[in-house]
């Protein structure tokens, strides 16, 4: 029988042969073999008696046999091809992550947010870019906050498009903080960003403070009744905006009324888009009162707002005295011929009207409306009217 000493010598000789083979392998395979040896040494070094045997049945001899089989398998993999080779770079990355695998991100949202941060850094000191378009990049709140922080420092960019980025309430909060400090931004597009009434709580006070922003688009969001109240108060005090779009939201009820009241007190807005909300009769009545008080507004779009005939007639009361409104879009409201007739009649009674375009798209009118239109044309020859056609005729008429 061989002695213990002879077994030890044989083991030493085996290790030397293995190291010799490692030395003759490519560098990537050498790295793998070295890591395997380190792993085996580390396992022996850290395992104590309390850990128990590593084999399932507690047999150390079986463990040695399995380790020998695994070493043989590793040798076969090293000779099998490139697929079994692990680069040193991958090994270093595993160390940096602390052994945790990096989460798979199929939407790539993390890249977009990090990209926004990386882009914001050089833009802080950039002096040549005046217009920045970052629409539809899914930056979400963190990415929007990075851009907002940049705009606090940059004093050259005048136009920014952040539409369709899912900024949410967190992004709205960062944008609001920026608007309180920025003094150069003139045009800002925040359309399609999942803003809610909570977002309006941040943006409302910012619009009161900021006097440089002239054009604001907050369409295609989720603003509701409370947002209408907040923004109505803000617009009544704002002295810088020239145009604002709140189209495709859900402003209705008390929010629609207070928003209309805010427009009545505004002294700077020239164009307002309120289409695709839910102003209804109450909102239309409030808009009629606003048109009596406002003497600067030139364009108003309240199409698709579920305004009934009575609401249109009450809105027309404001047109009897208004001297600045040039374009009114009432299309796709259920105002019927009666509503259209009431609005047109108000222009006939207002010799100082500045109206140039009326839009009654998809609304049918009758012969009485056509006759009244002929009379109005005598005092407003430049007036154009679009409607859904005349009742009793086929096709769409456009006067």
Count of domains in the chain?
Answer: 2
Distances (CA, A) of 150 to 98, 120, 155, 169, 249: 33, 6, 10, 19, 29
Residue 221: closest CA among 250, 244, 243, 242:
250
Residue 45: pLDDT band with limits 50, 70, 90? very low
Q: Would 153 be classed as within a structural domain?
A: no
**Structural domain that includes position 55:** 24-96
Residue 115: pLDDT band with limits 50, 70, 90? confident
pLDDT on residue 309? 98
Domain closes at, from 96, 114, 130? 96
Span 221-244, pLDDT tens digits? 999 999 999 999 999 999 999 999
Do 230 and 88 share a structural domain? no
Of residues 86 and 203, more confidently modeled: 203
Residue 89: pLDDT band with limits 50, 70, 90? very low
pLDDT on residue 220? 98
CA dist., res. 207 & res. 91, Å (int): 52
Q: Would 46 be classed as within a structural domain?
A: yes
Q: Would 188 be classed as within a structural domain?
A: no
Q: Mean pLDDT across the stretch 201-229?
A: 98
pLDDT on residue 106? 57
Residue 97: pLDDT band with limits 50, 70, 90? very low
**CB 281, CB 312: distance < 8 Å:** no
pLDDT on residue 336? 97
Of residues 5 and 258, more confidently modeled: 258
Do 87 and 234 share a structural domain? no
Q: Would 92 be classed as within a structural domain?
A: yes
Q: What percent of the chain has pLDDT over 70?
A: 70
Domain closes at, from 40, 63, 96? 96
DSSP tag of 300: E
pLDDT at 110 over 90: no
pTM above 0.75, yes or no: no
Span 365-398, pLDDT tens digits? 999 999 999 999 999 999 999 999 998 754 444 4
pLDDT on residue 392? 72
Q: What CATH number has the domain bearing residue 304?
A: 3.80.10.10
Q: Mean pLDDT across the stretch 116-128?
A: 94
Domain closes at, from 96, 126, 150? 96
Q: Would 29 be classed as within a structural domain?
A: yes
CA dist., res. 24 & res. 79, Å (int): 12
Cα 39 to chain center, whole Å? Answer: 48
pLDDT at 37 over 80: no
Residue 113: pLDDT band with limits 50, 70, 90? low
Of residues 203 and 20, more confidently modeled: 203
Residue 188: closest CA among 218, 164, 211:
218
pLDDT at 22 over 60: no
Q: Would 68 be classed as within a structural domain?
A: yes
Q: Mean pLDDT across the stretch 106-123?
A: 76
Q: Which runs of consecutive H residues, i.e. helices, occur in 154-279?
A: 168-179, 197-209, 225-237, 253-265
Do 228 and 89 share a structural domain? no
Residue 103: pLDDT band with limits 50, 70, 90? low
Residue 114: pLDDT band with limits 50, 70, 90? confident
pLDDT at 44 over 50: no
CA dist., res. 275 & res. 307, Å (int): 11
Q: Mean pLDDT across the stretch 111-131?
A: 89
Residue 111: pLDDT band with limits 50, 70, 90? low
Q: Would 276 be classed as within a structural domain?
A: yes
CA dist., res. 163 & res. 354, Å (int): 34
Q: Would 18 be classed as within a structural domain?
A: no
The whole-chain average pLDDT of the chain stands at 81
Residue 239: closest CA among 272, 209, 268, 207:
268
Span 272-284, pLDDT tens digits? 999 999 999 999 9
What strands lie across the sheet with 384-387, from one edge to the other? 131-133, 159-161, 187-189, 215-217, 243-245, 271-273, 299-301, 327-329, 357-360, 384-387
Do 234 and 88 share a structural domain? no
Give φ, ψ of 213 to 5 degrees.
-65, 130
């Amino acid at each position: 029988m061989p002695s213990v000493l002879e077994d030890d010598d044989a083991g030493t000789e085996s290790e030397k042969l293995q190291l010799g083979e490692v030395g003759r392998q490519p560098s990537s395979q050498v790295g793998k073999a070295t890591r395997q040896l380190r792993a085996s040494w580390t396992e022996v070094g850290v395992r104590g008696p309390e850990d128990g045997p590593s084999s399932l049945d507690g047999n150390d001899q079986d463990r040695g046999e399995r380790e020998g089989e695994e070493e043989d398998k590793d040798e076969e993999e090293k000779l099998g091809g490139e697929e079994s080779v692990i680069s040193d770079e991958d090994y270093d990355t595993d160390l940096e992550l602390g052994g945790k695998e990096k989460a798979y991100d199929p939407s790539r949202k993390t890249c977009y947010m990090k990209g926004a941060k990386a882009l914001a850094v050089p833009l802080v000191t950039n002096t040549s870019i005046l217009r920045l378009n970052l629409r539809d990049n899914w930056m979400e709140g963190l990415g929007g906050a990075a851009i907002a922080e940049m705009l606090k420092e940059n004093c050259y960019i005048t136009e920014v498009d952040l539409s369709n980025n899912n900024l949410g309430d967190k992004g709205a909060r960062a944008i609001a903080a920026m608007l309180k400090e920025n003094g150069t931004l003139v045009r800002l597009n925040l359309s399609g960003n999942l803003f809610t009434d909570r977002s309006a709580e941040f943006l409302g006070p910012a619009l009161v403070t900021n006097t440089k922003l002239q054009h604001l688009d907050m369409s295609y969001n989720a603003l509701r009744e409370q947002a209408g109240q907040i923004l109505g108060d803000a617009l009544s005090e704002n002295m810088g905006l020239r145009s604002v779009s709140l189209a495709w939201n859900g402003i209705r009820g008390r929010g629609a009324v207070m928003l209309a009241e805010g427009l009545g007190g505004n002294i700077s807005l020239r164009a307002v888009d309120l289409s695709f909300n839910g102003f209804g009769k109450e909102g239309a009545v409030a808009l009629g009162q606003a048109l009596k008080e406002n003497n600067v507004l030139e364009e108003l779009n309240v199409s698709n707002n579920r305004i009934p005939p009575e609401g249109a007639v009450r809105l027309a009361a404001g047109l009897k005295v208004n001297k600045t409104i040039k374009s009114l879009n009432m299309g796709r409201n259920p105002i019927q011929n009666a509503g259209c007739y009431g609005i047109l009649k108000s222009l006939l009674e207002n010799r100082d009207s500045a109206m140039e375009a009326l839009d009654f798209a998809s609304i049918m009118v009758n012969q009485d409306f056509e006759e009244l239109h002929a009379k109005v044309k005598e005092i407003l020859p430049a007036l154009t009217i679009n409607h859904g056609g005349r009742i009793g005729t086929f096709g769409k008429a456009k006067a």
